Chains A and B, each alone.
Chain A
Amino acid sequence: MVLPVAAAVVIAVVPRSRPEIVRALALLAAVLEVALSGVLLHRFRTGIAGFQLVSQHPWIKDFGISWKVGVDGISLFLVVLTAVLFAVAMAASTVEHDLKAFMCWMLVLEAGCVGVFLSLDLFLFFIFWEVVLVPMYFLIGGWGYERRVYAALKFFLYTMLGSALMLVGILALVFLEARGGRPITFDLVSLANNQHLAGATAKWLFLAFSASFAVKVPLFPLHTWLPDAHTEAPTAGSVILAGVLLKLGTYGFLRFGLYLFPKAAVDLAPVLLTLGVIGIVYGALVAAVQRDLKRLVAYSSVAHLGFIVLGTFALTTQGLQGGLLQMINHGISTGALFLLVGMIYERRHTRQISELRGLQRSAPVLAGVFMVVMLSSIGLPGLNGFVGEFLVLLGTFVTRRWWAVVAVTGVIFAAVYLLWAYQRVFHGTPDEANASVPDMTWRERAVMLPLVVLIVFLGVYPKPVLDRMAPSVNALLTHIERHTSYQQPDVAAGR
């Protein structure tokens, strides 16, 4: 995690007249980070529920704050996903100006994201959570499209408002837990095991945390920053925004919401489930009527994230695993979709669906890749999206039947808007402007390859991933069951 920061510093001192050195160094750093996450994956011991590879150093003794990082089955794959997506996004980015600053911000952003996933101390977590904001703000504002300044500002202020409430929540939790002579600590595990809060207090604190996560996810009424930010961001920015940043919110719900406030989470689950379902249906409907291809993908994110929230608050093994897997899937497939939309934009300089037609003729490979990625996003069996969505729906159905039923319509809508968009963009006879569109270059193919491989691999054989997640997910559910009267129904026995 320290690596990207160091790399950013190194790049900052490279003269800006040598963009090729900057690019090479940044890519090297990103690839190294992928390799490091590979090492992490290798050293991770399957079958252990708790945190592994923990490193801890005291930091601010007054407040019991320490530098504590580690992984478990929940965060492991998100770290890997982050590393892969950043490498891909940086390789794919075609920045026209200030490449140096762009790469610096990307690397700082990467450090922040990985930091959020790894930190096991609430203070540290909050620091990284906030650190993520600044580089993303500059990426959107500096390299985005026409309305970039507005979008960047909206993104920053929405998220900051959420964080403000979360900070008060964190402090309240820490100081309330420290009553009665217990030491002040920001340590996640000890706070989660304490559970001394009164029910109502816990509920308020859960809401304070949720405010921040819900903005980031984004859940239904708080989603309005997302289409603007996604649409106006540069391609690499959109990939990271959709692929990684949104996951920070769902990860937050999973890691902090459920783990710290099990009782409140169980009590308030119906509310969040409802918001998730509204997100699914609403996102899908709005996506269907978009005229801008990038905006369409952005709204599809709202729908997909609804599924993840649904799975998380179904509070069953299947639901949680599905939600978690769907985080990975959405990162890969929506990231890939944004890359493809970016490629189309570079060729045609428009994102309006009405101006695109018959690209299949002129750019068959692009069309083929788009098809695969899109089908994964729809949830076609055999590709990764299906596994996640299926688990989510299964997990939800056994506890919250009607929510699952409504959510299923979202799957159908997804097929409708994506296939319809594909049909309008790629089918038909190309007019003059679209006939001469060049196909994917080798660099673009190399960029897309790892993502397509992952899409197929996770669709056919998700077992290695699920196996590593399972112990942690089960431990989380046991934790919830121990602190509440909630009992997870036995799916295998048909409840």
Chain B
Amino acid sequence: MSMLAAATSTPIHVPRVEWVAILPELILVGAALVLLTASGLRRARLPRGVHMIATIAAAGGALGAAWYLWAQVSDGKARDAVAGAVVVDGFSVFFMILVSCAVVLGALLADDYLRREDLDGPEFYALMMLSASGAMFMAAANDLIVLFLGLELLSISLYVMAGLHLRRSESQEAAMKYFLLGAFSSAFFLYGIALVYGATGSTALPAIADFLRTNVLVSNGLLVGGLGFLLVGLGFKVAAVPFHMWTPDVYQGAPTPVTGFMAAAAKAAGFAGLLRVLFSTFITYRLDWQPVVWALAVATLVLGSVVALVQTDVKRMLAYSSIAHAGYVLVGVEVATSRGTAGALFYLLAYTFMVLGSFGVVTVVGRRGDAAHDLDTYRGLASRRPALALAFTIFLLAQAGVPPSTGFLAKFYVIGAAVEARAYALAIIAMVAAVVAAFFYLRVIVVMYMTASEEAESPRLRVPVGVTVALAATLGFTLVFGIVPGTVFDFARHATVLRF
């Protein structure tokens, strides 16, 4: 009796939950659950396009919520929420907006694809929204455990999405490979968290940062080892060399819209985590991690660009090119200045639109069965579908860094940051890699424009409405902000105000 009285007299401490701070994530998770439940309850198939519209509406809602948060934090104010588990600052809101855009574009690309491949159903959309909310949690994480949760939510959804194409063995293989390697990298990441906790006594990022600022560790093997394992886990997600082995196979095997979404969102989320850990938490250990990131960046740039040269499959080539792009973002990470971070963020945003546009074209050219990705199928595309070929050309040139495009400005920004930080060698290596990369982008253009079409009798490619809208949006972003980048530059710069 007395025990019961004691229990009631000391109330359980319940943290205050600021729902608004995680509203974008909540909207996406909620929509995913509703979508699954609703289509599970109904016998009859829902009318076509409903899933897509619901997803876009949810992503739009998330975008709106993120916009509302942006208004609160854009002046550099940041605040903890949900008992310090997440943080709302320009950085996290930036990624919320980026990921929401990726969801909208991914849904547009997927709509017709799923019907074409006879895979219609809510699963893809629900999983995409779940993984998007995982990505947002990673960006907003204020604690290593939350970061891990976000990472898992993102990854597990993506494993399933990669294997979504039931009738293609490549898709199954991709899912398996991604899952096995991903599980390994998650284990590494978790082990890293444990080591860091052992060294600093906390998993909360601000607490770790405070600890490192105020204490000098006599032997820091535990801490550096833990940081290394964290790097491995996140490096896997962003496809940095030497943790890139899964990328070509998974990008090639996964359904094309999934590949596009994965390239945009998973990479962005991985870099969000990387920047959060390295730049805001372990900034005092800069001299320890900078050489490592330098080496990663160089290896990623060189290997990504060079190996892409010999690919004959367009999806595989884009996979290697995405590895090379990770190298450029790593350049921005390596310099560890706020300009470098802003450059990395701008790069990720620009890349999201370029890569989703590119995979949009690939989705269309892939035809029914999603197998026609050989370079030869692009033969003479310019004479069959001039607009499509022109769009692809613009995306490829933008990825190669030819102005006026956001792709050029993104390179300009990160290289500028590297030069400002006197990392000349890195800047030159990055630019030379860009020239190598230009070669394989041009190869596709050559095939599209300068070789005659062999299969003139093949049925005309159909460009569905959703893809058209997505292509128009991505093209518009790439070109318009490639010419007047002021707003997006400001956006990225404000987003670098991280909470320490």
Contacts and interface: CB of A to CB of B under 8 A. Distances in A.
Contacts of B424: 168, 172
B416 A171 contact: yes
Interface in A147-179: 148-149, 152-153, 156-157, 160-161, 164-165, 167-168, 171-172, 175
B403 A127 contact: yes
Interface stretch (B161-169, B274-282, B428-436): B428-436
A475 B442 CA distance: 43
B450 A62 contact: no
Interface in A254-289: none
Contacts of B435: 157, 160-161, 164
B85 interface: no
Main secondary structure of the interface of B (DSSP, over half): helix
B228 interface: no
B398 to A, nearest CB: 11
A165 B442 CA distance: 20
A272 B108 CA distance: 56
A138 B403 contact: no
A130 B450 contact: no
B450 A156 contact: no
A62 B415 contact: no
Contacts of B493: 62
B61 interface: no
A21 interface: no
Given A127-B403, A134-B397, A134-B402, A63 B439 contact: no
Contacts of B439: 153, 157
A142 B390 CA distance: 14
Contacts of A131: 402-404
Given A153-B446, A161-B432, A171 B438 contact: no
B459 to A, nearest CB: 23
Nearest to B439: A157
A492 interface: no
Contacts of B485: 60
A141 interface: yes
Nearest to A208: B428
A62 B402 CA distance: 21
B403 A165 contact: no
Contact of A130 (B408, B416, B427, B432): B408
A175 B416 contact: yes
Task: Classify chain A's interface size.
Answer: 20 to 34
Interface in A339-368: none
Contacts of A18: none
A431 B211 CA distance: 93
B449 A141 contact: yes
Most buried by B among A133, A149, A156, A160: A160
A61 interface: yes
Contacts of B489: 60, 62
Given A141-B446, A153-B446, A168 B415 contact: yes
Interface residues of B, number: 29
Contacts of B11: none
Contacts of B500: none
B420 interface: yes
Contacts of B408: 127, 130
Interface string A114-149: 000000000000110011011001100110000011
Most buried by A among B404, B408, B450: B450
A153 B436 CA distance: 12
Contacts of A164: 428, 431-432, 434-435
A172 B416 CA distance: 8
B419 interface: yes
Given A61-B486, A63-B416, A149 B446 contact: yes
B403 A171 contact: no
B415 A167 contact: yes
A148 B493 CA distance: 44
Interface in B431-488: 431-432, 434-435, 438-439, 442, 446, 449-450, 484-486
B408 to A, nearest CB: 7
B412 interface: yes
A168 B442 contact: no
A168 B432 CA distance: 11
Contacts of A133: 402
B403 A167 contact: no
A152 B168 CA distance: 39
A220 B345 CA distance: 42
A222 to B, nearest CB: 14
A103 to B, nearest CB: 15
B446 A168 contact: no
Contacts of A156: 438, 442
A390 B412 CA distance: 43
A167 B427 CA distance: 10
Contacts of B434: 160, 164
B449 A172 contact: no
B402 A130 contact: yes
B406 to A, nearest CB: 13
B400 to A, nearest CB: 8
Interface string B135-174: 0000000000000000000000000000000000000000
29 contacts: A60-B485, A60-B489, A62-B486, A62-B490, A62-B493, A126-B403, A127-B404, A127-B408, A130-B408, A131-B404, A148-B450, A149-B450, A152-B450, A153-B439, A153-B446, A157-B435, A157-B438, A161-B432, A164-B431, A164-B432, A164-B434, A164-B435, A167-B412, A167-B415, A167-B431, A171-B415, A171-B416, A171-B427, A172-B419
Pick the 4 closest A-B CB pairs, nearest first. A164-B431, A171-B419, A175-B420, A127-B403
Interface of A: 59-63, 126-127, 130-131, 133-134, 137-138, 141-142, 148-149, 152-153, 156-157, 160-161, 164-165, 167-168, 171-172, 175
Given A63-B416, A138-B449, 6 more contacts: A126-B403, A134-B402, A141-B449, A152-B450, A153-B439, A157-B435
Interface of B: 397, 402-404, 408, 412, 415-416, 419-420, 424, 427-428, 431-432, 434-435, 438-439, 442, 446, 449-450, 484-486, 489-490, 493
